[in-house]
Protein backbone atom coordinates (compact mmCIF):
# COMPACT_ATOMS: atom_id res chain seq x y z
CA UNK A 1 0.00 0.00 0.00
CA UNK A 2 1.23 3.51 -0.81
CA UNK A 3 0.34 6.67 1.10
CA UNK A 4 1.48 9.97 -0.38
CA UNK A 5 0.28 13.31 1.00
CA UNK A 6 1.28 16.95 1.21
CA UNK A 7 0.64 18.22 4.70
CA UNK A 8 0.51 21.71 6.11
CA UNK A 9 0.03 21.25 9.84
CA UNK A 10 1.19 19.06 12.68
CA UNK A 11 -2.36 17.71 13.04
CA UNK A 12 -2.48 16.67 9.38
CA UNK A 13 0.93 15.01 9.65
CA UNK A 14 -0.02 13.18 12.85
CA UNK A 15 -3.24 11.92 11.24
CA UNK A 16 -1.35 10.72 8.15
CA UNK A 17 1.14 8.88 10.35
CA UNK A 18 -1.67 7.30 12.37
CA UNK A 19 -3.17 6.17 9.06
CA UNK A 20 0.11 4.52 8.05
CA UNK A 21 0.40 2.79 11.43
CA UNK A 22 -3.23 1.57 11.27
CA UNK A 23 -2.63 0.23 7.77
CA UNK A 24 0.49 -1.65 8.82
CA UNK A 25 -1.28 -3.04 11.90
CA UNK A 26 -4.29 -4.12 9.83
CA UNK A 27 -2.33 -5.85 7.08
CA UNK A 28 0.65 -7.21 8.99
CA UNK A 29 0.80 -9.41 12.04
CA UNK A 30 3.60 -7.54 13.78
CA UNK A 31 4.59 -8.01 17.38
CA UNK A 32 4.64 -5.18 19.92
CA UNK A 33 8.38 -4.62 19.48
CA UNK A 34 8.06 -4.14 15.72
CA UNK A 35 5.15 -1.72 16.14
CA UNK A 36 7.07 0.20 18.81
CA UNK A 37 10.00 0.52 16.41
CA UNK A 38 7.75 1.95 13.68
CA UNK A 39 6.10 4.42 16.06
CA UNK A 40 9.42 5.55 17.54
CA UNK A 41 11.03 6.12 14.13
CA UNK A 42 8.05 8.12 12.84
CA UNK A 43 7.78 10.10 16.07
CA UNK A 44 11.46 11.08 16.10
CA UNK A 45 11.39 12.15 12.45
CA UNK A 46 8.27 14.27 12.94
CA UNK A 47 9.61 15.90 16.11
CA UNK A 48 12.78 16.90 14.26
CA UNK A 49 10.81 18.48 11.43
CA UNK A 50 8.62 20.58 13.70
CA UNK A 51 11.31 21.40 16.23
CA UNK A 52 14.15 22.37 13.90
CA UNK A 53 13.13 22.91 10.27
CA UNK A 54 10.87 26.01 10.18
CA UNK A 55 8.91 24.15 7.49
CA UNK A 56 5.36 25.04 6.56
CA UNK A 57 4.86 22.05 4.27
CA UNK A 58 5.77 18.39 4.71
CA UNK A 59 5.38 15.58 2.21
CA UNK A 60 4.94 12.07 3.56
CA UNK A 61 5.30 8.99 1.40
CA UNK A 62 4.90 5.59 3.01
CA UNK A 63 4.82 2.29 1.21
CA UNK A 64 4.55 -1.05 2.86
CA UNK A 65 4.58 -4.43 1.29
CA UNK A 66 5.26 -8.01 2.16
CA UNK A 67 8.49 -7.51 4.07
CA UNK A 68 9.26 -3.81 4.46
CA UNK A 69 8.00 -0.34 5.30
CA UNK A 70 9.56 2.47 3.27
CA UNK A 71 9.06 6.06 4.46
CA UNK A 72 10.14 9.34 2.89
CA UNK A 73 9.54 12.62 4.72
CA UNK A 74 10.44 15.83 2.90
CA UNK A 75 9.93 19.39 4.11
CA UNK A 76 10.44 22.87 2.72
CA UNK A 77 12.29 24.05 5.81
CA UNK A 78 15.80 25.29 6.40
CA UNK A 79 17.51 21.89 6.37
CA UNK A 80 20.77 21.22 8.19
CA UNK A 81 24.29 19.96 7.67
CA UNK A 82 23.63 16.24 7.94
CA UNK A 83 27.16 14.84 8.10
CA UNK A 84 28.06 15.71 11.71
CA UNK A 85 24.59 14.83 13.01
CA UNK A 86 24.36 11.46 11.26
CA UNK A 87 27.94 10.51 12.23
CA UNK A 88 27.38 11.39 15.90
CA UNK A 89 27.60 8.54 18.41
CA UNK A 90 25.55 9.45 21.46
CA UNK A 91 26.17 6.29 23.47
CA UNK A 92 29.04 7.66 25.53
CA UNK A 93 30.74 10.81 26.66
CA UNK A 94 29.25 14.27 26.84
CA UNK A 95 26.52 13.65 24.26
CA UNK A 96 25.01 10.84 26.32
CA UNK A 97 23.70 13.33 28.87
CA UNK A 98 22.96 16.16 26.42
CA UNK A 99 19.31 17.20 26.20
CA UNK A 100 19.17 17.05 22.38
CA UNK A 101 20.75 15.04 19.61
CA UNK A 102 19.70 11.46 20.22
CA UNK A 103 16.75 11.30 17.80
CA UNK A 104 18.73 10.91 14.58
CA UNK A 105 20.95 8.31 16.24
CA UNK A 106 17.88 6.35 17.42
CA UNK A 107 16.33 6.42 13.95
CA UNK A 108 19.61 5.32 12.38
CA UNK A 109 19.91 2.39 14.81
CA UNK A 110 16.27 1.29 14.50
CA UNK A 111 16.01 1.29 10.70
CA UNK A 112 17.48 -1.05 8.13
CA UNK A 113 18.19 1.76 5.68
CA UNK A 114 18.62 5.44 6.57
CA UNK A 115 19.53 8.38 4.35
CA UNK A 116 19.21 12.16 4.53
CA UNK A 117 19.38 14.32 1.42
CA UNK A 118 22.45 16.52 1.18
CA UNK A 119 20.61 19.61 2.43
CA UNK A 120 18.80 17.74 5.22
CA UNK A 121 15.27 18.41 3.94
CA UNK A 122 14.44 14.81 3.06
CA UNK A 123 14.88 11.62 5.04
CA UNK A 124 14.41 8.18 3.51
CA UNK A 125 14.15 5.15 5.81
CA UNK A 126 13.29 1.49 5.40
CA UNK A 127 12.28 -0.94 8.12
CA UNK A 128 12.12 -4.67 7.53
CA UNK A 129 8.85 -6.14 8.75
Instruction: Output phi, psi for 30, to 5 deg.
Output: -95, 145
Tens digit of pLDDT for each residue in 20-45?
888 888 888 889 999 999 999 999 99
Size of the chain, expressed as the number of residues it contains: 129
Share of the chain above pLDDT 70, in %: 87
**Domains of the chain and CATH, by start:** 2-128 (3.30.565.10)
Q: How far apart are CA 113 and CA 67, in angstroms?
A: 14
Whole-model pTM? 0.83
Q: Which residues of the chain have pLDDT under 50?
A: none
Q: Give the model's pLDDT for residue 34.
A: 92
Amino acid sequence: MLVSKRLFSLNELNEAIRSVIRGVEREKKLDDEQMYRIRLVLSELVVNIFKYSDANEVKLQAEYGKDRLHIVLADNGSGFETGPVVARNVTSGELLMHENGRGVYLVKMMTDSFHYSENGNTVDVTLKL
